[in-house]
Amino acid sequence: MNRRQCLQTLSAVAVSTLLLPRWATASSLLLLPERSLSLHHLHTGEKRIVTYWAEGRYLPDSLAEINHLLRDFRNNKTSAIDTALLDQLTLLQTRLNVPCEFQIISAFRSPETNKMLQANSKGVAKHSMHLEGRAIDIRLPKVPLAVLHQHALAMKMGGVGYYPQSDFVHVDSGNIRRWGA
């Protein structure tokens, strides 16, 4: 998908974001007529632009599409992705005024995958929010990682981890907390 197509698809959101300042909060989401995300899963190569909320409600078919896209790519297991997490990404995109493409490093993880990752890395939590579909590891092209991190922290909407050596920011819909460099 080229830049023009992406901008056309997200035009309603882009126009609405002009009304929202960079200090936008969760209540600002109520001003958006639609909530859409452009997602690119780096491990599967899959890309989607999905409007997951419109006319005052979450769209079940769109949520199912997101659940599939953000599945555990190691074993293809899926889980419901928390809509609060999707709303966090929408707000983050709005604050940054960047209408296109979150690059996904990791989203839902099955217990088997989490256990395997724990055995191979000291940075994987035993009770990771990824297990509940409430966490995602992301980056945005053309947005410095430090800027993405600062905006995620400023939202005060859950956990934010900073992993500059691995080139991603972790965002989750849990309690407000922070960690990393």
> What pLDDT, in 10s, does the model give residues 80-125?
999 999 999 999 988 888 767 999 999 999 999 999 998 988 778 8
Q: How far apart are the first and last CA of the chain?
A: 34
Question: According to the 3-state scheme, what is the secondary structure of 157-179?
Answer: CCEEEEECCCCEEEEECCCCEEE
d(CA 107, CA 101): 15
Write down the pLDDT at residue 15. 38
Write down the pLDDT at residue 121. 82
pLDDT band, very low/low/confident/very high, at 2 (cuts 50, 70, 90): low
CATH number at residue 60: 3.30.1380.10
Tell me the three state secondary structure of residue 48: strand
Residue 18 pLDDT more than 60? no
Bridge partner list, 130: none
User: Does residue 96 belong to any structural domain of this protein?
Assistant: yes
Contact 2, 49 (CB under 8 A): no
User: Does residue 117 belong to any structural domain of this protein?
Assistant: yes
Mean pLDDT on 149-160 = 94
pTM: 0.84
User: Does residue 124 belong to any structural domain of this protein?
Assistant: yes
Contact 36, 13 (CB under 8 A): yes
Write down the pLDDT at residue 1. 53
Q: Please list, in sequence order, all residues whose beta carbon lies within 8 angstroms of the beta carbon of residue 130, skipping any fewer than 6 positions away.
A: 106, 107, 108, 109, 114, 136
User: Does residue 102 belong to any structural domain of this protein?
Assistant: yes
User: Does residue 4 belong to any structural domain of this protein?
Assistant: no
Q: Report the Cα 160 to chain-centroid distance in Å.
A: 12
Q: Which domain holds residue 141?
A: 32-180
Write down the pLDDT at residue 4. 53
User: Does residue 64 belong to any structural domain of this protein?
Assistant: yes
pLDDT, mean over the chain: 86
d(CA 15, CA 18): 6
d(CA 109, CA 101): 21
- Residue 158: C-alpha distances to residues 6, 68, 95 (Å): 28, 23, 16
Write down the pLDDT at residue 104. 98
User: Does residue 6 belong to any structural domain of this protein?
Assistant: no
User: Does residue 2 belong to any structural domain of this protein?
Assistant: no
- Give the chain's domain count: 1
Contact 36, 50 (CB under 8 A): yes
Write down the pLDDT at residue 123. 76
**Rounded (5°) CA angle 136-59-63:** 30
